[in-house]
Homo-oligomer: A and B are copies of this chain.
Amino acid sequence: MTIGQLAEATGVPASAIRFWERHGLLPVPERRSGQRRYAPEAAERIVVLRTYQQAGLTLEEIREFQRDQPHRQAMIRAKITEIEQRTVDLRHATQLLEHALQCGEEDIVTCPRFRDTMARW
């Protein structure tokens, strides 16, 4: 598999794959006449990393994560807690947006329902 095929297979651009490799998120692949060659399993790793990233982990965190560190368990637990908080944030924003849909013509902030809703947080 070349980098282009891997990009195609995962939906992650080749430029990003090189970037991740340079920054230590991906193992250095075999080369044939200068070009990177990947085993099919490489795609799985990329997709997993992308999933972590979509959840808001930074590349730095994902990198740390792959090293079998002493603090790894604690890090993971902390991250889960953080994600729970972000889920709450998303729920709050959805509530604001739904109010905003209803108080259509008003300033999105002065709507009295906002105050009521936010008071409950």
Contacts and interface: CB of A to CB of B under 8 A. Distances in A.
B47 A89 contact: no
B90 A94 contact: no
Given A65-B108, A73-B104, A115-B44, A80 B98 contact: yes
How big is the A interface, by class?
35 or more
A51 B73 CA distance: 30
A79 B52 CA distance: 22
Given A80-B98, A97-B76, A108 B51 contact: no
Interface string A63-82: 00110100011001101100
A77 to B, nearest CB: 7
A55 interface: yes
Given A66-B107, A83-B94, 4 more contacts: A47-B118, A51-B93, A54-B89, A87-B90
Interface of A: 44-45, 47-49, 51-52, 54-57, 65-66, 68, 72-73, 76-77, 79-80, 83-84, 86-87, 89-90, 92-94, 96-98, 100-101, 104-105, 107-109, 114-115, 118
